[in-house]
Amino acid sequence: MSKSNTAQPAICTRGVTRDFPAGQDTITVLHGIDLDVKAGELTYLVGESGSGKTTLISIMCGILWPTEGEVQVFGTDIYHLSDTELVNFRLENIGFIFQQYNLIPAIDAASNAAVPLIAQGMPRHEARERSIEMFDKLNILDQADKLPNQLSGGQQQRVAIARALVHEPRLVVCDEPTAALDASSGRRVMDLLRDVAVAEDRACIIVTHDNRIFDLADRILVLEDGRITHDGTQMPEDH
Amino acid sequence: MIWIAIRMLTGDRQKFYGLLFGIAFSTLLITQQLTIFVNLIERGASGVYNVSSADVWVMDPVSRTTDVAYAMPSTALDKVRGVKGVEWAVPHLRANASVRTKDGDLEGVAVIGVDDATLIGLPKSMVEGSTDVLSQPDAVIIDDVGTTRMFPGESPIGERLELNDQRAVVRGIADAIPSFTSTVVLYTKYSQALRYVPGTRNRLSFVLVGAADGVEAKSLSDSIEEQTGLKAQTRDEFARDGVQFIIENTGIPLNFGITVLLGFIVGVAIVGLTFSLFIRDNIKQFGALKAIGVTNGKIARMVAAQAAMVGLIGYGLGVLGTVGFIYGFSNNPTFKGFYIPWQIPLISFAAMVLIIALTGWIALRGVMKTEPAAVFR
Ligand SMILES: Nc1ncnc2c1ncn2[C@@H]1O[C@H](COP(=O)(O)OP(=O)(O)OP(=O)(O)O)[C@@H](O)[C@H]1O
Ligand SMILES: [Mg+2]
């Protein structure tokens, strides 16, 4: 995989901290994170449970306010936007893949994947057609008309990937995309994600502690107690 | 997004039907009970409605309704006839009596004596026989509800009755709106009625008046009061007096009011609970939508669309149920002449909107409070 030569990083965090109230006190979950995530790379964020991975990725994709620090996504200072501007920024620029898929049970797979386009205001049928094109790319065309509960976990996660990519966002974020899947479907989902989500002008960042898929990463960041302790193409030896 | 909202709602069959049931049940209860209430208290005016040709009712100043009347001396009739603007004025007698059937049963009845010459005072139409039968000796006309009460399943025509120990023969059946108490009514000529009702000195209950062409009922009743010292009420006023009397003297408004309130509360409870459950079941999906980039405003519109859909369908079913109920019982004498005043569906619509707005708002708050960041947890 060629390294991106764009000057501007996809995500740039400077001095990001995040506190949470814990009873009387506050706990600091992130301690001044300075990070550049490049486009064209599959970036993993790994670390032990409670190390702050979800908190960091939530801040990077504009759904959780940092206590301090700046976050730029493709040059936009996202936490300086108004609430509505931020929501619309996410709608245009970010694709989400959740551990629990969060598909809408009452509408078929293709319509589920079309949701970001529908939310952008595209007519439903047109959006669904675009979503079916994405299904074709993901080799799940035969599942377009099925309801989520007629699909296996791996198949649902593919639909969720289609939903994350259908509107061609510049940043794709995934929190534990394979945690609910068995080893082989997890691996297949990640292979697929690698194929479709990584592109010259797109950044893809994945939170995981699934060591079965570490070999697929271009870059691995390790978070320990709210600090980045490792940044490289491989996992550090001691993990 | 509205399409998605509707599919989310209808996709969850159980809750969708639960919500429809809640709204339909509330609407039915409210609409049906209000309908019965209005029709029942309007029965307080049935005596007035049954004599549709009288423009003004003249009575003793202490009389209150067709059934609560104090008799006047017979000279009152001539006094009323002397008032300018009176086209015609006829005597009208209303009294209670008891009747013994051929089986020996005793029944309280109302005797109504109508003008001998014009027969004004009879209901407009007959179910059986013609009004001419009153010229036969001892003839009485029974009302249709009285027929089902006193002669269930058989024809009363030709039946002999002992009316206050006097002979009476049923010669016809009148099509009348039953009274509030559904008392059996026997119509007879005024002169005949005087014989049936034992002799106190005064027995003239009302003078029924027709207004001359171009004379307003209200101004006529005013001049009658002024010139005779009697009480005169227009048809509408007197009908309202009858209704008012029922409202003031029975527990009916309270009882129906309680049922309507219960319908409302049950609606809020069922719909509120089901709607909250529905939202809670879908909170993850709503959270995902918020993270993906659906504004709170759009989310609110989605929930509003869900609420509106449930509300409208449920309301339609409830009103349909009421219509079905009224229609289904239209042959039952208790519900004779029942109709749904247009105001009532409007009232239950307002109640439905209130239920929906209240429960929808509570449900919506849950969605609004969900942090988009919660989707990663
Ligand atoms: N909304 C919150 N309120 C209070 N504390 C929180 C909140 N979210 C996270 N935390 C705390 O912040 C710390 C880091 O949480 P986070 O979810 O980022 O960890 P994680 O690395 O994603 O862990 P896991 O691998 O278990 O998902 C934890 O101690 C957690 O209890
Ligand atoms: Mg986590």
DSSP letters of B157-225?
TT-EEEETTEEEEEEEEEE-PPPTT--EEEEEEHHHHHHHS---S--B-EEEEEEPTT--HHHHHHHHH
- pLDDT score recorded for residue B366: 84
Reported residue count of chain B is: 377
pLDDT at residue B273 is higher than 90: no
Burial class (CB in 10 A: 0-12, 13-18, 19+), B259: middle
A84 in contact with chain B, both atoms CB, cutoff 8 A: yes
For ligand 1, mutation pick of A54, A59, A63, A228 (most atoms within 8 Å of CB)? A54
Measured distance CA(B1)–CA(B304) in Å, rounded? 12
Q: Are strands B106-114 and B184-189 parallel, antiparallel or unpaired?
A: parallel
Per residue in A72-124, pLDDT (tens digit) is 999 999 999 999 999 999 999 999 998 888 899 999 999 999 999 999 999 99
- pLDDT score recorded for residue A215: 83
pLDDT at residue A60 is higher than 90: yes
Confidence of residue A238 (pLDDT cuts 50, 70, 90): low
Cβ-Cβ contacts under 8 Å, B291 against chain A? 63, 90, 96
Residue A47, ligand 1, Cβ within 6 A: yes
Per residue in B314-342, pLDDT (tens digit) is 999 999 999 999 888 887 777 888 889 99
Per residue in B130-151, pLDDT (tens digit) is 888 998 989 999 998 888 888 8
Which ligand minimizes its atom distance to the CA of A25? 1
Share of chain B above pLDDT 90, in %: 57
- The region of weakest confidence among A182-186, B312-316, B351-355 is A182-186
Asked if A94's CB is within 8 angstroms of B293's CB, the reply is yes
- pLDDT score recorded for residue A1: 43
Confidence of residue A2 (pLDDT cuts 50, 70, 90): very low
Q: Which residues contact B69 (CB under 8 A, 6 or more apart)?
A: B59, B60, B63, B94, B205, B206
Helical residues (DSSP H) of B88-172, grouped into ranges: 144-150
Average per-residue pLDDT for chain B: 90
**pLDDT, mean of residues B265-278:** 88
Asked if A104's CB is within 8 angstroms of B8's CB, the reply is yes
Q: What is the CA radius of gyration of chain A?
A: 18
Token pair for B162: 């002992």
Q: What single DSSP character describes residue A123? A: -
- pLDDT score recorded for residue A177: 85
Q: A176 in a domain, yes or no? A: yes
Confidence of residue A3 (pLDDT cuts 50, 70, 90): very low
- pLDDT score recorded for residue A191: 83
Q: Which residues contact B138 (CB under 8 A, 6 or more apart)?
A: B166, B167, B168, B169, B192
Share of chain A above pLDDT 90, in %: 62
- pLDDT score recorded for residue A4: 44
pLDDT at residue A68 is higher than 90: yes
Instruction: Give me the residue from A57, A96, A175 closest to B292, CB to CB.
Output: A96
**Which of B220, B53, B29, B43 shows the shortest CA–CA distance to B125?**
B53
Cβ-Cβ contacts under 8 Å, B295 against chain A? 84, 87-88
Per residue in B68-126, pLDDT (tens digit) is 899 999 899 999 999 999 999 999 999 999 888 777 788 889 999 999 999 999 998 89
What's the CATH number where A16 sits? Answer: 3.40.50.300
Share of chain B above pLDDT 70, in %: 100
- Chain centroid to Cα A92, Å, comes to 14
pTM: 0.80
Residue A18, ligand 1, Cβ within 6 A: no
Q: A3 in a domain, yes or no? A: no
**pLDDT, mean of residues B158-174:** 90
Q: A190 in a domain, yes or no? A: yes
- The Å distance, Cα A162 to ligand 2 centre, comes to 22
Asked if B289's CB is within 8 angstroms of A88's CB, the reply is no
The protein residue whose alpha carbon is closest to atom 6 in ligand 1 is: A20
- pLDDT score recorded for residue A7: 57
The protein residue whose alpha carbon is closest to atom 4 in ligand 1 is: A20
Confidence of residue A130 (pLDDT cuts 50, 70, 90): very high
Which amino acid would we find at residue B216? E
| Smallest CA–CA distance from A88 into chain B, residue | B293
The protein residue whose alpha carbon is closest to atom 22 in ligand 1 is: A54
Measured distance CA(B255)–CA(B128) in Å, rounded? 37
Residues spanned by the domain of A206: 11-232
Token pair for B299: 């989310």
**pLDDT, mean of residues A25-52:** 91
Q: Which atom of ligand 1 lies closest to the CA of A22?
A: 4
pLDDT at residue A18 is higher than 90: yes
- pLDDT score recorded for residue B152: 84
Instruction: Give me the residue from B4, B8, B285 closest to A118, CB to CB.
Output: B4
Asked if B288's CB is within 8 angstroms of A96's CB, the reply is yes
Mutate to test the interface with A, among B6, B376, B377 (most CBs of A within 10 A): B376
User: By 3-state DSSP, what share of chain B in percent is helix, strand and coil, each rounded to 5?
Assistant: 55, 20, 25
pLDDT at residue A199 is higher than 60: yes
A199, A41 contact by CB (below 8 A): no
H or E stretch including A230?
Answer: strand A227-232
Token pair for B316: 């339609």
Q: 3-class SS at A239?
A: coil
Q: A132 in a domain, yes or no? A: yes
A199 in contact with chain B, both atoms CB, cutoff 8 A: no
Number of domains within chain A: 1
Cβ-Cβ contacts under 8 Å, A175 against chain B? 376
> Angle, nearest 10°, between helix axes B343-369 and B283-292?
70
Q: 3-class SS at A38?
A: coil
Asked if B294's CB is within 8 angstroms of A91's CB, the reply is yes
- In angstroms, the separation between the Cα of residue B268 and the nearest Cα of chain A is 26
Confidence of residue A180 (pLDDT cuts 50, 70, 90): confident
For ligand 1, mutation pick of A16, A25, A28, A29 (most atoms within 8 Å of CB)? A29
Q: A136 in a domain, yes or no? A: yes
Q: A95 in a domain, yes or no? A: yes
- The Å distance, Cα A90 to ligand 1 centre, comes to 22
Confidence of residue B312 (pLDDT cuts 50, 70, 90): very high
**pLDDT, mean of residues B40-64:** 92
**pLDDT, mean of residues B275-285:** 88
A96 in contact with chain B, both atoms CB, cutoff 8 A: yes
- Nearest-10 Cα torsion for A50, A52, A54, A55: 130
Q: A4 in a domain, yes or no? A: no
Instruction: Give me the residue from B12, B288, B294 closest to A106, CB to CB.
Output: B12
Reported residue count of chain A is: 239
